[in-house]
Amino acid sequence: MTRYDDLRAARARYLGPSLSLSYERPLEIVRGAMQYLYDDEGREYLDAVNNVCHVGHCHPRVVKAAQEQIAVLNTNTRYLHDHIVSYAERLSGLFPDPLQVCFFVCSGSEANELALRLAHTHTGRSDWVVVEGAYHGNTTSLIDISPYKYDGPGGAGASRHVRKVVMPDVYRGPYRDGDTAGAAYAEHVKEALDAGGDQDRSVAAFVCESLLGCGGQIVPPPGYLAAAFDHARTAGAVCVADEVQVGFGRVGTHFWGFETQDVVPDIVTLGKPIGNGHPMGAVVTTPEIARSFDNGMEYFNTFGGNPVSCAIGLAVLDVIEDEGLQERALAVGGRLKKGLEELGARHQAIGDVRGLGLFLGVEMVSDRSSLAPAAELAGSVVEGMRDRGILLSTDGPLHNVIKIKPPLVFSADDADRLVESLDEVLEETPPE
Ligand code: PMP
């Protein structure tokens, strides 16, 4: 057995089998630098799918901030410390009023878990409206509000506290006219809100990703969140925007995904890119909701908001700003999307190219008129790209959407290389 085989065997033995590896021949990745990953043999891969190492793998300024702070102090948040206050002030400054109060946690799941508690305490209600295909995290209550999981393999179906609405998908969903689809999809949110009847079964929150990740890189049509939020608030529910995938400038035109829909949520949850790979998350909410939550039961999080995490969070914000990464996401993402659309004109298997900034999706089909999904083809393309040194993955309820969400240091040359390689791979891969 080679060392690689030993590693695989040991992993299979000591790690839970429900955790899968990417690619038919899994990669052993030993190093990362900006938009590149390196395997055990020194081969370089262009990372076009990791939206966690947002400002680049092992970005030197983030590494330095972590190293410097961990050598001085890392403790809990029951002492006064400048970092947590500066970071909270800086982060809340990036949000519109009245989103001003921060809670610090250690993952996207913890952020959403806390969002549910905030919404529940504020409204006194326990039902949720969620969007088909959504994933919000790995805890018991989040699996319950994640149709991606509870409707998927091994899932137990919807719990009685959850009302699922159709995905606002103008490519495949029931409403495809961009001008009217937003209101039409939001009408389903209204129906779900009204469905419960008596006070015991009222909805605490409409929980929605600002752009849908696991749902297949879906950009809601204009007006969707505005109308859905109106319906939710009329029904006495609060609105939670899950920005775990799309926040921090990725969408290019705005810092937050919800801003592209011209809304202000009541609770926003943050994760993945917030710490560039360091396990962090945050919830940002209004003073009113934060006051409701202050009901005598303390909220304490052993690791959330510690000085090292806050130093890292501050460094990430500095890098986004100093390196103009939001502007870069807009320019490079625009160029990449245009290149992919041009490929779509030549390759029938590309049914749709969508997304904002550097959050893009390519939906593969075997028939453009019936939209029959080409999941196997999408999987083969991802393998073909890996062989060419470019890392991508697939998602969406039909597993036929190629996800593109690279670190924001992705360059125009990287975008061109991705398009050229995809062109070659599509030429070589037989259609489904
Ligand atoms: N929300 C969304 C939209 C996500 O994509 C994820 C993770 N894929 C989570 C929440 C959960 O985050 P974590 O894995 O950090 O707990």
- With a 6 Å cutoff on the Cβ, whether 108 touches ligand 1 is yes
Is the distance from CB of 157 to CB of 150 less than 8 angstroms? yes
CA–CA separation, 312 vs 74, rounded Å?
12
249 and 374 in a single domain? The answer is no
Q: Count the domains in the chain.
A: 2
Residues 206 and 344 in one domain: no
Q: Helix, strand, or coil here: 190?
A: helix
Residues 144 and 110 in one domain: yes
Please indicate, yes or no, whether residues 318 and 336 belong to a single structural domain of this protein: no
pLDDT digits (tens, 9 = 90+) for 45-89: 999 999 999 999 999 999 999 999 999 999 999 999 999 999 999
Question: 415: buried, middle or exposed (CB in 10 Å: 19+, 13-18, 0-12)?
Answer: buried
Ligand 1 atom nearest to 279, measured from its CA: 15
Ligand 1 in contact with 216 (CB < 6 A)? no
* Closest residue to atom 1 of ligand 1, CA basis: 136
- The alpha carbon of 177 and the centre of ligand 1 are apart by a number of angstroms equal to 30
Question: Rounded to whole angstroms, what are the CA distances from 115 to 235, 242, 267, 283?
Answer: 18, 9, 7, 7
Indicate which residue's Cα is closest to atom 16 of ligand 1.
Answer: 109
d(C-alpha 166, C-alpha 347), whole Å: 29
- How close is the Cα of 108 to the center of ligand 1, in Å? 5
Give yes or no: residues 127 and 226 share one domain.
yes
Q: Are residues 226 and 305 in the same domain?
A: yes
For ligand 1, whether the C-beta of 244 sits within 6 Å is yes
Instruction: Give 383 Cα–ligand 1 centroid separation in angstroms.
Output: 24
For ligand 1, whether the C-beta of 309 sits within 6 Å is: no
Report the distance separating Cα 136 and Cα 209, nearest Å.
8
Q: How far is the CA of 165 from the centre of ligand 1 (A)?
A: 20
Q: Which of 287, 322, 357 lies at the terminal end of a domain, its last residue?
A: 322
Distance from residue 144's CA to the centre of ligand 1 (Å): 14
Q: Are residues 350 and 290 in the same domain?
A: no
User: Same structural domain for residues 73 and 117?
Assistant: yes
Identify whether residues 47 and 130 lie together within a single domain: no
Concatenated DSSP letters of 349-407:
TEEEEEEETTEEEEEEEEETTTTEE-HHHHHHHHHHHHHTTEE-EEESTTS-EEEE---
The closest alpha carbon to 169, from 227, 225, 226, 215, belongs to: 215
Q: Is the CB of 56 under 6 A from ligand 1?
A: no
Q: Which domain holds residue 331?
A: 3-55+324-428
Which of 322, 356, 374 is where one domain is finished? 322
Q: What is the DSSP string of 73-84?
A: ----TTS--HHH
pLDDT, position 429: 87
Q: Cα of 42 to ligand 1 centre, how many Å?
A: 30
Query: CATH number, domain at 415?
Result: 3.90.1150.10
Helix (H, G, I), strand (E, B) or coil at 105: strand
Q: Give the domain-ending residue among 256, 291, 322.
A: 322
Residues 137 and 112 grouped into a single domain: yes
CATH number at residue 167: 3.40.640.10
**pLDDT (0 to 100) of residue 1:** 80
Residue 210 DSSP one-character state: S
Q: What does the pLDDT read at residue 199?
A: 55
Any idea what DSSP says for residue 220? P
Predicted local distance difference test score (pLDDT) of residue 201: 86
Shared domain check, 336 and 272: no
In this structure, which residue's CA is closest to atom 7 in ligand 1? Answer: 137
- 10-residue mean pLDDT series, the chain (432 residues): 93 96 96 98 97 98 98 97 98 98 98 98 97 98 97 93 98 96 98 79 96 98 98 98 98 98 98 98 98 97 98 98 98 98 97 98 97 98 98 97 98 98 94 74
Spatial distance between the Cα atoms of 53 and 358, rounded to a whole number of angstroms: 13
Is residue 253 domain-shared with residue 299, that is, in the same domain?
Answer: yes
Look up the pTM and report it: 0.98
At residue 430, the pLDDT reads 78
Total length of the chain: 432
395 lines ligand 1 (CB under 6 A): no
**H/E element holding 330?**
helix 325-346
278: tokens are 């360091």
Provide the 3-class DSSP secondary structure of residue 162: strand
Distances (CA, A) of 37 to 29, 31, 139, 245, 407: 7, 6, 30, 20, 11
